[in-house]
Amino acid sequence: MDQAHPDRSGPGDGRFFARTGPYPLARLAQEAGADARGAADRMFSGVAPLQAAGPDQVSFLDNRRYLPQLADTRAGAVIVSPAFADKVPSACAALITPQPYLAWARVAALFHPREAATPGIHPSAVVENGAAIDPAAEIGPFVHVGAGAQVGAGTRVGAGAAIGPGVVVGPDCRIGSHVSLSHAVLGARVTLFPGARVGQEGFGFAVGPAGFVSVPQLGRVLIEDDVEVGANATIDRGSAQDTVIGAGSRLDNLVQIGHNVRLGRCCIVVAQAGISGSTELEDFVTVAAQAGLIGHIRVGAKARIGAQCGVMSDVDAGADVIGSPAMPFREFFRNVAALRRLARRPEPARGGRGGGAVAVDPEPG
């Protein structure tokens, strides 16, 4: 094969993604937590979507609308729910589980594990006195590590990242290129994608007779274990208390988290959403794209905030809200339906004496 153009068939281009395997069906079933139907020793070399997979690849089906692709697939094995197990072609092995997408994630990660750190400090990196970098960490080119900062074992810090004085980065973290970190403490297995900004001053000022007076922002950012923060997202440090991102939470690209915000466990905040200062999200809250939450409110556990929603007051646990101002889904769509009915009504006839049209001078007087 031409080395300039390596094989790109299916996902996992070898120029960008590590690959392991092959693995037998029995190992895949174990990893996926699925029941296997097929020869336990049949070998597989990778994963691919239904329409592109070959006989040595694994695919999945988690949506009824793709059943026609299942019927035509050449995949060697397919991960499916019990409801679709009888639809798997006879030539395919089946991995049967109530959660096909979760099983797919586990199998894909088996073939394409996260790249391990290459221990060492690049010669162009600057490490200030008093910084503690674990020997098993990787510090990339042009990284700056401030005095007193700590970087844990197995952590990778990408090119051009800046880790401020006193910052703590736990073990097995991934700090993307050009990330800036200050006034922050990170737990284990935290991922910050390129360009994320964590720990900068929050948006706080008082109004004086001569103009605005900035309020010192004296808190920190605490990011708990297994959090992911998307590219170019921003998390302000607290003003007098800490900004907290709860364990397992996921922040998409271009998310803004204001000072003193507290996210519970496993919250989801989708792209271009913004959460104003001192707002609290309890566990398992979802905030959809471009939603905006004002400050000093509380969103109850497992609530869901719809896309482009404007949230101006507390939201009850388990509630689904949408619109601006935010309201329950059913109320919102009743309002939409009422407006549509009004729009369809014919306008009443307007006329002067004898039913004729009334002439109006556009510039009276």
Residue 258: CATH number of its domain: 2.160.10.10
What amino acid occupies position 333? Answer: F
Amino acid 318: pLDDT = 97
Please say whether the beta carbons of 199 and 167 come within 8 A. yes
Does residue 171 sit within a domain? no
> Is residue 139 assigned to a domain?
no
103 in the same domain as 220: no
The pLDDT score that the predictor gives to residue 343 is: 85
For residue 29, being part of any structural domain is answered with: yes
105/220 same-domain check: no
Picking from 70, 85, 111, the residue at the C-terminal end of a domain is 111
Last residue of one domain, picked from the residues 111, 140, 160: 111
User: Torsions phi, psi of 174, nearest 5?
Assistant: -125, 110
195 in a domain, yes or no? Answer: yes
- Token readout for 309 is 């929603």
Question: What is the domain count for the chain?
Answer: 2
List 5, 122, 259, 296, catalytic entry: 259
Q: Determine, yes or no, domain membership for 293.
A: yes
Which among 111, 133, 161 is the end of a domain? 111
**Helices 100-111, 25-32: crossing angle, 10 deg rounding:** 120
The rounded average pLDDT for each run of 10 residues, N- to C-terminus, in the chain (365 residues) is 48 88 97 96 96 95 92 96 95 96 97 94 97 98 98 98 98 98 98 98 94 95 98 97 98 98 98 98 98 98 97 97 93 88 78 50 43
pLDDT at 5: 45
Residue 343 lies in a domain: no
- In 119-193 the beta strands, taken as DSSP E runs, fall at 120-121, 126-127, 132-133, 138-139, 144-145, 150-151, 156-157, 162-163, 168-169, 174-175, 180-181, 184-186, 191-192
* 192/72 same-domain check: no
**Is residue 136 assigned to a domain?**
no
Query: What are the tokens at 207?
Result: 């109004």
Range of the domain at 78: 23-111
Residues 76 and 204 in one domain: no
State pTM to two decimals.
Answer: 0.88
Q: In this structure, are 100 and 203 located in the same domain?
A: no
Q: Are residues 189 and 273 part of one domain? A: yes
| CATH for 77 | 3.40.1390.10
**Selection from 176, 283, 281 nearest residue 233 by Cα:** 176
Residue 230 within any structural domain of the chain:
yes
94 shares a domain with 227: no
Same domain, 197 and 80: no
What pLDDT, on a 0 to 100 scale, did the predictor assign at position 352? 54
C-alpha to C-alpha distance for 230 and 233, rounded to whole angstroms: 6
- To the query of whether residue 178 is one of the catalytic residues in this protein, the response is no
- Say whether both 193 and 67 belong to one domain: no
